[in-house]
Amino acid sequence: MGTLAGVILSWSALYALLAAGYVIVYRASRILNFAHGELMMLGAYFALSIANNIDVPAPVVIIISLALSFGVGYLLYWLIMRRMIGEPIYSTIIVTIGLSLTFRGIVTVIWGARHYYLNTALGIPNKAVHLPFGIILSTFDTFTIVAAVVFLTVLILFLRMTRQGAYMRASAENPLLAAQGGINVYMIFALSWSIATIGACMAGIVYGGNTLLSPSIGFVGLLALPVALAGGMDSLLGVIPAAIIISTAQVLGVKYGGPFLSEVIPMFIMLMVLIIRPWGLFGTKEEIQRV
């Protein structure tokens, strides 16, 4: 039972970390980024390459990887997604799907399709961690939970207590009015993409360190999309209960129904939410209707 609780906790944290990226991008630029999982994958490969080629401690590797991911997110919006302003929503979705395929192809060409041990490259042994109440986590499970808590806490404080965060909230609420008030909404949108990509990079590093790293891990990012939709695409705090609900259902389904349910359950829950409450458990009804 303790192992099962540990799996639920780690998957909830991973989903919340990834879903927050979907929400922050959607709130700012009204774009559903289907390349988010591939940005997660790319961040993990950044860490792998830095660890294998530069003799620096693991924390430095992670910081450099996060900085590179921040730049990728910024350039991605500024060079590509900004040009989609005013285009139909399905056009932006197609572009992000194209980006996901492009990133996966680039990674496969550069690093190949083989599996890597990111924890070995980072020099961090993935040992069992025993917590109270019999909960058992791995080292990288613990890192996943810490990363999710830190990322969400810092992001919420940033949005509520900084000027740039206020600009981001204003731009999300009414970009035209924000622009008329002197806010550079393009810079704010680019910043939101950069922040989301940092979260994806953190998710990629902790997940890649906990399992084998390969180009296929980008699919985990797609499994986090139901969490964002279930919680509400305009609700950052909604990703937390949604992540717990979906990860619990997924883990229990796999335990009692079989591993083939691993990818089915999140999508089934997403379908039910879209049918019954399309704006999500904590989202704004008018927001979805307006979109």
- According to the model, what pLDDT value does residue 286 have? 57
Confidence of residue 1 (pLDDT cuts 50, 70, 90): low
Q: Per residue in 206-241, pLDDT tens?
A: 999 998 899 989 888 888 999 999 988 888 888 999
Q: Calculate the average pLDDT of the chain.
A: 87
pLDDT at residue 4 tops 90: no
The answer to whether 158 and 28 have CB atoms below 8 angstroms apart is no
Q: 177: helix, coil or strand?
A: helix
> Whole-angstrom Cα distance, residue 165 to residue 230?
24
% of the chain residues with pLDDT over 90: 47
Domain residue spans in the chain? 2-217
Alpha-helical segments (H) within the chain: 2-29, 36-53, 58-79, 89-111, 118-122, 139-161, 163-173, 175-180, 185-210, 218-223, 225-231, 239-257, 264-276, 285-290
Read off φ and ψ for residue 162, nearest 5 degrees. Answer: -120, 160
The answer to whether 218 and 40 have CB atoms below 8 angstroms apart is yes
Q: Per residue in 133-144, pLDDT tens?
A: 777 788 999 999
State the distance between the two ends of the chain, measured CA to CA, in whole angstroms.
43
- According to the model, what pLDDT value does residue 179 have? 78
pLDDT, average across residues 154-180: 82
Structure tokens belonging to residue 70: 């921040």
> Whole-angstrom Cα distance, residue 182 to residue 134?
54
Across 20-29, 84-93, 172-181, the highest mean pLDDT is recorded for 20-29
Least confident of 52-66, 97-111, 217-231, 260-274: 260-274
The answer to whether 152 and 241 have CB atoms below 8 angstroms apart is no
> Can you say how many angstroms the Cα of residue 274 is from the centroid of all Cα atoms in its chain?
20
The answer to whether 258 and 53 have CB atoms below 8 angstroms apart is no
- According to the model, what pLDDT value does residue 289 have? 44
Bridge-based pairing state of the strands 136-138 and 128-130: antiparallel
